[in-house]
Structure 1
Amino acid sequence: MVSFDVERVVRQSLKRVAQLRFHRDHGAQAGRVLEFLERTYGKADPAHLKLADTYARDVFGSVVYAPWLRVYTAFSGTFKEGWIPDNYYGSVVVPSMKGSYGKLSALKPLSRLIFDSDAFPDIAYFANGLFFTDRSVVIPEHDLESLVFGQCDRVVFKLDGSGQGKGVYLFDRKNFNGEVIKSLGNGVIQKFITQHRVFNAFASKPVATLRFTTVVDDAGSVSIRACFFRLGRADDTHVQSDHDICVPVDLVTGELGREGYMNDWGAIAEHPDSGVRFSGVTIPAFAQCVAMVLDLHRKIPFARCIGWDVTVDADENVQVMEWNGEHNDVKFSEATQGPCFSDLKWERLRAVA
């Protein structure tokens, strides 16, 4: 009994330390964004910032949630009730509304088993020493290369748990090696997608993606809450979070906003490399993209908020590159399109012990 109590105390102490570090890191990141916004666009109204501080304390129970509310306020030029701070989302909403089910998204070989959809460009998987087809049939290693390149000339390997453009590797027939894949770790081999010409006009090398955020409400209905377009830079092999460009997308029409935003939250009207303007561009096959992510989320309703990375290929087919059932970022969507979740009463949730 004493041993059990000691273990419980240690676990709780470690969890508290991790939470403190989590909120500290978010506070520092939000502080840098706020400093940039105020330096670039002028000081935010102190009265509005005070409303953000008060809302964090009175509604969410702690001032540790104020930094992102302050960023949203400075970005929008006003304070809006109903915003969800990104660190509240990560520390309270994610464990309360997803539990362990959202963590399944980190295990790439499970996507086909869960969703049974050809929208995923998965060709093969590597897990625990074995290669598998997208139908979970073991592949003899001497057949691996012919199977992988039977459909395409380039592939992408993504490690389990990869995200933000990290843990992603590109291979062609010349440099593909099964032993290299095995040395990297468990993950998925996907065909390299030839993106739609509308996406290609912005940057031809990295495949642009749409980040959809879908939720399941208390009545079991699935809905789209936010969408933005993610673009890489001209010389990138794939989109990477530390220097991508994000453009809000109208949820009804699929039109891009007039402005996109750099990683530092600075506004731009056109892609910095190609000079292609965002205004007037409509996402191809947008209705099909929406229908796809709604249909897929209905298959895993117990992960109640999911971020989907989707693209449209050259033939206007919807391709689901990955899904994020854990801490899918909500701060950009909240600032540009929010409050996105105000009807869901997430502010009433409290941290899971």
Structure 2
Amino acid sequence: MRILKRAAIAVANRFPLLSDESKMKIYCACITDPESAASRHLELLSRKPDQRMYADMRKALHKYGMFYDEYAVYGCDVNPPGDYITEAGRMTLLSHFNDKNAFSLFADKYSVYSLFRDYYKRRLVRVSRSSDYEAFASFYNDCAPVFAKPLRGSCGNGAVILESGDNAKALFETLSRGEGYVCEELIRQNGAVRDFNPDSVNTVRFTTVLKDGKVIPFYPFFRMGRKGGITDNAGASGVMVPVDSETGRLGKVGRDENGRYFNRHPDSKIPFDGFLLPEWDNALNLMASLARTVPAARCVSFDIAYSANGWILVEANLRGQFIGQQLCCGKGLYTELVSLL
């Protein structure tokens, strides 16, 4: 479904002479599937839009750069669209925070590992070039099962667990095709953080902003996977809950990108309200250390997890989205983020 949606967006944007109404029909055709991450308003998307809605969606597209799937996921038939950080405007906004040379430092997951190696607290190897084979074979034979994800991937797409007992050479040849992969030791989570969903690594997304030497956590939220899923990404039906940045306490209500609300995890049934993430002071200290590692990168998205070794870095992204933050707090955050420039 994601591939279909991207293809439709590409087609609609590639042909600028296509009428707005035709563009909207293409988008809506891709977001009416109940499994789609764009079905924010089931009643909105299950009926034919009326002329008022056509006009409102066209206005949001042309005035704010808001795609039709964003209009739906943010519920902009109710919430004014003007203050949302859109996908069309995200990179422009981030380019004002981050030096252009900083983006090359975050070019892929192995580059990020090289920057923040001390905070990973686990082994990670690149599987991309023929010269990577010996390191991969040694790592796989020592550590399997291991977690593998595309070198330049996002949203958990393509992530797999490589079980022990397979032929290292055959695995390497498969993984090194195209842009390649990174492989890392499995993260072993502890206690109640793990219990929300034992099948995935459940993480806190910290988007940090450096301003006048101070590290500002910008609307952190806790992400949990669903039963049987190995990633916690919202695009893979994961659940997001806001986190009080001072105390580490979860909010009362969680969200997913399918427009559903939860007061407890839908599979484990563990309630969110009042749950305190462990050793939160250590999480804040880790966040501050990470944010100061690359001063030229003033706005970075960090995913951290609570493991047997305490809080550790899962990965970092200089092109992080703001969907989770805006869904969790129920409002657009453009004005607030711009005020931190």
1:203 aligns with 2:197: yes
* Structure 2 counterpart of 1:94: 94
Report the equivalent of 1:227.
220
TM value normalised by structure 1: 0.71
Specify whether residues 344 and 258 from structure 1 end up closer, same or farther in structure 2 by C-alpha distance, changes over 3 A only. Answer: closer
Over residues 224-248 of structure 1, what are the superposed CA-to-partner deviations in whole Å (9 max), with x where a residue is unaligned? 1121111111112333422111111
Residue number among 276, 289, 309 corresponding to 1:282 in the alignment:
276
Give me the TM-score of the superposition, normalised by structure 2: 0.73
Which letter does structure 2 place at the counterpart of 1:158? K
Closer/same/farther in 2, CA of residues 292 and 53 from structure 1, 3 Å limit: farther
Distance 1:78 1:64, change over 3 A: closer
1:137 corresponds in structure 2 to: none
Structure 2 gaps, min length 5? 1-9, 33-37, 47-51
Go from structure 1 to structure 2 and tell me whether the alpha carbon gap of 1:167 and 1:30 turns closer, same or farther (over 3 Å shift): closer
One of 183, 196, 201 as aligned partner of 1:189: 183
Picking from 295, 313, 331, the partner of 2:307 is 313
Change beyond 3 A, Cα 1:120–1:332: same
CA displacement at 1:114 relative to structure 2: 1.9
2:168 is matched by which residue type in structure 1?
N
Gap change, CA 1:211 and 1:63, over 3 Å in 2: closer
Give the Cα–Cα distance (whole angstroms) in 1 for the partners of residues 246 and 267 of structure 2. 29
Please list, as runs of the form range in 1=range in 2, the aligned pairs for 1:17-96 lying within 5 A after superposition: 33=39, 35-36=41-42, 62-65=63-66, 68=70, 72=74, 83-96=83-96
Query: 2:166 — aligned with what?
Result: 175
Deviation (angstroms), 1:182? 3.5
Higher mean C-alpha deviation, range 228-237 or range 95-104: 95-104
| Unaligned residue ranges in structure 1 (runs of 5+) | 1-13, 41-45, 132-139, 349-353
**Aligned equivalents of 2:321 and 2:170: distance in 1?**
34
Would the aligned equivalents of 1:104 and 1:325 in 2 still touch at CA under 8 Å?
Answer: no
SS of 1:130 mapped into structure 2: helix
Report the CA distance shift for 1:71/1:153 in structure 2 as closer, same or farther (over 3 A).
closer
What is the CA–CA distance in structure 2 between the aligned matches of 1:71 and 1:157, rounded to whole Å? 30
Aligned-partner residue type, residue 259 of structure 1: V
Instruction: Tell me the amino acid that sits aligned with residue 92 of structure 1.
Output: T
Please tell me whether the aligned partners of residues 202 and 276 of structure 1 are also in contact (alpha carbons under 8 angstroms): yes
Percent of counterpart pairs with the same letter? 20
Matched residue SS, 1:222 = strand
Aligned residues: 306
Superposed CA RMSD: 3.9
The one-character-per-residue Cα deviations of 1:172-191 (angstroms, maximum 9, x if unpaired) are 32136243233223332211
Could you tell me which amino acid in structure 1 is paired with residue 301 of structure 2? G
